Chain A
Amino acid sequence: DAKTTQPNSMESNEEEPVHLPCNHSTISGTDYIHWYRQLPSQGPEYVIHGLTSNVNNRMASLAIAEDRKSSTLILHRATLRDAAVYYCILRPGADTGTASKLTFGTGTRLQVTL
């Protein structure tokens, strides 16, 4: 499986934008880039995913480099409720059971302060 590399931790001030980077230099052409987050004492929560183009949804934006070897999750205005561990995950673009598995790394722990 292709690997991802994320910083262990980041800090942000509330109401400021946050850019969470992820490197995936061995990504294959059919791998999708997924982001999940895990708030304290909760199960992981889907945030966003994309293949080649940048994506936006109500939670965040995903910026994908042109060569797809890196991506950035953007939280436009961080709040205290966004404090969580954020996971960048690659998934093969297939509808098999193996492709459906989420391989979680250690993620980036985001701290948000007032």
Chain B
Amino acid sequence: EAQVTQNPRYLITVTGKKLTVTCSQNMNHEYMSWYRQDPGLGLRQIYYSMNVEVTDKGDVPEGYKVSRKEKRNFPLILESPSPNQTSLYFCASSPRPGTYEQYFGPGTRLTVT
């Protein structure tokens, strides 16, 4: 089944403890991105990747890192999480950059205390 998977789905952590949220797609998509969703602010893009080894900042990249070593994986790294990064995170992918439909993962709910 074609899908985007994220792990973990739920995570509660403490300030400063490094964490990684994984994202994987099995559709051979070139384009992948990360969004966060907060009440009243909608979904905002954090980082995106046009292809392997090509990443760039979205609208809210501060406090996050990403890497794209393989086409299927696009992990989101929080080196030193803070409470303002408590949010619902979504990974998305599409066949290529541009006006193609994007497929979203199920989301990761992160709480930083």
Contacts and interface: CB of A to CB of B under 8 A. Distances in A.
Interface residues of B, number: 27
Interface string B24-60: 0000000101010000001101001010000010110
Contacts of B94: 100
Interface residues of A, number: 24
A43 B58 contact: no
Contacts of A43: 4, 90, 92, 104-107
A99 B104 contact: no
Given A43-B105, A43-B106, A43-B107, A102 B97 contact: no
B48 A97 contact: yes
Contacts of B100: 100
B71 to A, nearest CB: 16
Q: Which secondary structure characterizes the binding site on chain B?
A: strand
A57 B96 CA distance: 21
A69 to B, nearest CB: 19
B64 interface: no
Q: Which secondary structure characterizes the binding site on chain A?
A: loop
Given A95-B96, A106-B42, A101 B101 contact: no
22 contacts: A41-B107, A42-B106, A42-B107, A43-B4, A43-B104, A44-B90, A44-B102, A49-B99, A91-B99, A95-B96, A95-B97, A96-B97, A97-B48, A100-B33, A100-B94, A101-B45, A101-B48, A101-B59, A102-B45, A102-B102, A104-B42, A105-B42
Interface of B: 4, 31, 33, 35, 42-43, 45, 48, 50, 56, 58-59, 90, 92, 94, 96-107
- Those 8 A-B pairs whose CB atoms lie nearest each other, nearest first: A43-B104, A95-B98, A46-B101, A104-B43, A104-B42, A100-B97, A32-B99, A95-B97
